[in-house]
């Protein structure tokens, strides 16, 4: 049975220091689906999009994979000669994913999975047909985001695609206020108290820095991606696809 997120329910926890530790990893599926509007829809589309972009004998990267939700959905649908690198720098997430992976049926075919406990800034990308950054880029310092995206692009096959899902910031204050309030309503409707919402917000403030959709698109274009398609948005959460030209 899924463990319920009560991480910020008491005010004993030292806020301002959000970490992907064991306490968070234990409740993570519950936490993310109650906090990120559209998370479930995005995951099911990742499964579908992987089938479209992944080519035989290529690599797929799931960067900041947490408990491997995207990896585990993609794996059975991809060719056996493909490899998914499921990458996260949290020991708690990676060890839970290792346990999970040994318990899923590996006889059903699909891609091989290699789990790496490492920082995505240190990954050497190669032969990539599909790269997933599902709510992960936002945790890197803004100044370091371009370098990671650039290296993804360089390691990507022609016709390959990068999927980036992020919390967004809005340049117009009215839009920012509306969408923030709608997101807060979503969290309240999912049972989070005002104290939990406030404490998590404080804890994440320094670590999750959202950018505007325009900033994302501009950077991806500057790197060289030929087509950038924002394909999903719910309140202040969005997902986009950046495709590398075939030629
Ligand atoms: C999902 N994609 O369920 N290198 C590697 N991993 C990192 C880094 C880094 N530098 N920084 C953060 N992480 C998942 C959800 S959660 C999103 C992604 C959220 C990892 C971090 O350890 C955590 O597991 C993940 O990125 C972010 O589809 O919690 O809002």
Q: Which domains does the chain have, with CATH numbers?
A: 39-169+207-243 (3.40.50.150)
| CB-based contact 205:18 (threshold 8 Å) | no
Question: Which stretches of the chain score pLDDT less than 70?
Answer: 1, 8-16, 105-108
Q: Enter the DSSP assignment of 127.
A: S
Which residue minimizes the CA distance to atom 13 of ligand 1? 64
* Centroid of ligand 1 to alpha carbon of 247 (angstroms): 32
Closest of 77, 89, 147, 135 to residue 115, by C-alpha? 89
135 CA: nearest ligand 1 atom: 17
The 10s digit of each residue's pLDDT in 51-104 is: 999 999 999 999 999 999 999 999 999 999 999 999 999 999 999 999 998 877
Separation of CA 20 and ligand 1 centre (Å)? 8
Query: What confidence score (pLDDT) does residue 132 get?
Result: 98
Main-chain phi, psi angles of 205, to 5 degrees: -50, -45
Tell me which residue has its CA closest to atom 30 in ligand 1: 135
Give the separation between CA 21 and CA 80, rounded to whole angstroms. Answer: 33
Pocket of ligand 1 (CB under 6 A): 20, 32, 64-66, 69-70, 87-90, 93, 119-121, 134-136, 139-140
Ligand 1 nearest atom to the CA of residue 36, by list position:
30
Instruction: Decide if 31 contacts 7 (C-beta within 8 A).
Output: yes
Within 10 A of 130 (CB to CB), how many other CB atoms are there?
28
pLDDT in tens, 91-111: 999 999 999 988 775 556 799
Max Cα-Cα span within the chain: 56
Q: How far apart are CA 235 and CA 180, in angstroms?
A: 8
């Amino acid at each position: 049975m899924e463990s319920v997120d009560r991480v910020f329910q008491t005010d004993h926890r030292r806020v301002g220091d959000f970490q992907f530790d064991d306490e968070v990893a234990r409740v993570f599926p519950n936490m993310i689906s109650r906090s990120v509007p559209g998370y479930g829809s995005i995951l099911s589309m990742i499964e579908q999009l992987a089938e479209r972009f992944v080519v035989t004998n290529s690599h797929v990267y799931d960067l900041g994979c947490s408990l491997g939700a995207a990896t585990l959905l993609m794996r059975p649908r991809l060719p056996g000669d493909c490899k998914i690198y499921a990458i996260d720098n949290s020991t708690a997430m990676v060890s839970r994913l290792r346990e999970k992976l040994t318990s899923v049926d590996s006889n059903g075919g699909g891609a091989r999975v290699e789990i790496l406990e490492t920082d995505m800034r240190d990954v050497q990308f190669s032969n990539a047909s599909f790269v997933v950054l599902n709510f992960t880029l936002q945790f890197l310092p803004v100044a370091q985001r371009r370098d990671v995206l650039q290296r993804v692009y360089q390691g990507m096959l022609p016709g390959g695609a990068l999927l980036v899902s992020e919390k967004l910031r809005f340049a117009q204050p009215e839009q920012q206020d509306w969408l923030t309030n709608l997101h807060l309503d979503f969290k309240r409707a999912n049972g989070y108290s005002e104290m939990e919402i406030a404490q998590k917000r404080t804890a994440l403030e320094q670590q999750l820095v959202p950018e505007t959709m325009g900033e994302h698109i501009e950077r991806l274009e500057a790197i060289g991606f030929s087509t950038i398609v924002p394909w999903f948005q719910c309140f202040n959460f969005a997902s986009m696809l950046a495709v590398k030209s075939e030629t």
